[in-house]
Structure 1
């Protein structure tokens, strides 16, 4: 059954669109300042001439139980904060439920549009939350920004679930960007509850306040989550005076529409969308939007507060040092130090929290070079002038915390030209931070899908980069001890150095292959469009999961298309599905770009397509190993460089490569490596610095 989209007609849509000069600068004394339990503070108001502008109008409505509640348009208002410039409202929950009587999935999908209003969804306080046992839901902004993201939630049975844990088993969450004034929710038809409806009939998705959510296992087999607030959940919305774009412009406005009316107030630029905010000056509190609204705090009270704060800081500093020491021990710091002392020549640095804070200028936003599900990456300068990429990791489970020191020891010894070098780590924080070498020329994703048309990248260059990435993954699978499974292979995690050589990145601190073949991971993680379907079903991560994801990379190289198109029809969204259908019909023409069909040999195209097909086999046991992929790509590269030469498929790949070994792994005496040197068409100007998600 087609999804029925319900459009929410609220003041955040139409009535707020009127962003003209306010009718009055100060509210009338007769204006109502309370509705039910909610205090209505100016610039908000109830009634004519009581708010700053129509966008801040509040209606006080009587409900069936004779209780008064405030609304902005059709959305219930929970509270207003002048200090934080936020409001909390109730947002509708989108549902996707199986109806056993009809045998169809019933959908209620909500959208919310506040882009032409004073409001933007808070990227700090909210997360897109998805609940279900076989669910893939998407959140997207309007065409104006083109933002799209998704969140996968799976589980086999209720015993897999843990109260309070929202890590992909029964529940998942993802962040949103700044500036969102519109969002739309949809569910992927490939994931539904038709086969598990007796255990879990419904899936849910909603943008909601992160602090207001605590996952309960009862949300899976009951409708409790949707019933708690009658199908709604709280969401935090930032507001600002958006008549002017900056404080300077607003102050110069000669029409008398500057909003910071208190003489003891100051103007601040909005951090979420255009416009400005008003706050009381330091030492004052109250309402900065009305004359004389900010009142001074007494000197005696300030002295008392400062004294209490000083004592509190001393106590907290002592507690902080104790916590840091505990974190260091918990993450295996003592084990790491003992091994560093016993093994000479181990090039690995344990940084203090203070060192990395200084290296990133206190994690300044301008230093951010990448964000993703595994953490946020900052560019930093350590040891005077050494550029590094510092990753503040997302939360990890207790098992990973205990093994962190030992795993860092193993990862620190990887030395391969196609793998980003781990320089060091910081263990005295709750979630350990990793320090990698800095790679300057962006990612393979940018090289293939970037909008800069001036960069003319030859197909042989892309094939060479894919080959190098395969060599790096093969090294992790075959020569690390124990083997390392990447777990999130994608073009955005293949970095390009100053010579546009591939560097596999973001393989994490806890992706060591399980010693027990029956061991299962605690959550399904990865990136939509690259996820191994077998991994999605079994929750068992293997090296063949990386092979499937690499098959999607080969498709990107071959077709120039992104792995997932959320704006198209559901049947055409997946690049891998479209490719496999084309291969089955023996007709690749619709998905191949013209420059590939016109310039590359049919044998090369067929060979690369066949390799990708093998990688994308639904059964992992039928997929090739990364070693076999490396060998085949070596053969295909010779076809790209010298298409007039017929090659023997069984030719030794090592004979095709020039130069000496440039990689080694220094555990248990294992040593391996490759080196290639070719003349290719590379961009003349380096791309802007970027680091993998």
Structure 2
């Protein structure tokens, strides 16, 4: 039993690989009636239900109209015919005269066998087809001025008709009205026994024959992208299809079946025994699919029939079950193989092999689990659920996740990596994977099996320094001692990146929103998406200006050369944020979008620093505050060579010793005198920005954890 099914099995397996099940019949949402007239498929009112545009029906005032030829339909029939309302040609009332119907480009024709042409009035009638050939002629008696009200003639159609136009030849003194119509033969015989009654009608029924275009017909799924190639599919659905004209197909249910042959399983078995109880006379009638049998000995035949039906049913059931299991297994295997090949493709494209080689060749002990697989991170983030999003920015989206060992991590889904910069990305991951500093967010690993790389960081609980400065909590104040410690920790981390790493690393996006605070308010430098590793003998990186407004190094902005002193400038802005609690770009009474750096420098030069300090900072010791302020002032020097290095900055901050004191005692305001190096203030709102027309800074506010 299985061998005859092998061709169908192969078809089923190929179908299961390419697509899941397609719709097999019109949706229950499709309108089936217009007024009292049932609309069968392939005709339909809705665009989504119709086979193609020729069978589109408009329901106007509860009357169906074929949109393509604008004729009212009186009824549809699945035998390939339908009745439409057609105008009567009247020579006395030109306003009612019909325009020549043109069906040449449609799958419709005027039925040659079920229509007749009728002319009422004296004269000779000729009927021309759309190619001007004569298709019918008839004549009535010649009439004079008085006419002859009983004159009429009728004729059959001589050839298949796609359109026609009447031509009437009368005598010169004939003033009678003439009526011409194409009429359904049955209507002519039953309702126009007196042919003169045509004079009182404006429309009569006409029979159109229709068939479907082979290119738009698919009995399996009605999928318009497929092509109807043979009738074998129809035969499995108990219907037969034939083509009277090569571009079109007409279908009928097989004998013993009834229904719609244009739908899958649309032809259903007729129970002849139930429909006609006397069909077998005195014998016993037994129905089967497609027909019936009459038996003279019902008992023995019934038993044999039952056994045969049981055997047939079991065979069919087991065969179908085997086919379904085999098809599902094959579909699963093919799908899994495709997924594996796609992961291998992404892994190679994202440089996975090269990254593995660099990680294993690195000196020292390197964690071999630094390359995660896609399934592990997909489960950890609950399939990258939007509820797990921690933050979004120019470099990508960060999700909170839990690994199989219970560790909470931050998974950063990067934007598409430029293939030209793939080597830089690999080098960056390889270098950052070896950084082990307590004040740098640890990169636990990455995943390269996905379309875009995924980076896995340790999870930091308490948000960013920017949040703590802008949303201070009175119950947990951000005191001077904490601010000073945060400044020392960030400076130490940057000093490590600049001086102690195997190759100097420029962060290139130092800002308060990229400094995270853990549960003990220890600083963690994060977001190395724009960082660059620099060879020891190089002094700068030439790159397109990139960063965040308010933190730009003016020298980098002018020259496109990013140096270690550019990170120093950005860190100087962070020191000013710690001192003032202000945003890097803020508004004042007189100015909109003013740079905090220029505002701080002006305050230092005018010796009114204490006017801009945060309330919590004013509780600190004046010598410590002034030491940090002077250091920030030097970091913000317009000339990079005159700024201190990050190593010098870290050493100076370590030299500030916070003494034990009562934090509730406020230090008296005393601007005093202090030394500073006179520098030219720089404001991000000045015209300096417009001098670099070909370079547009990109704003990337993408902290690891928002």
Q: The TM-score by the shorter chain falls in which range?
A: 0.3 to 0.5
Q: TM-score, normalised by structure 1?
A: 0.45
Greater Rg by CA:
2
Q: So what's the TM-score if we normalise by structure 2?
A: 0.45
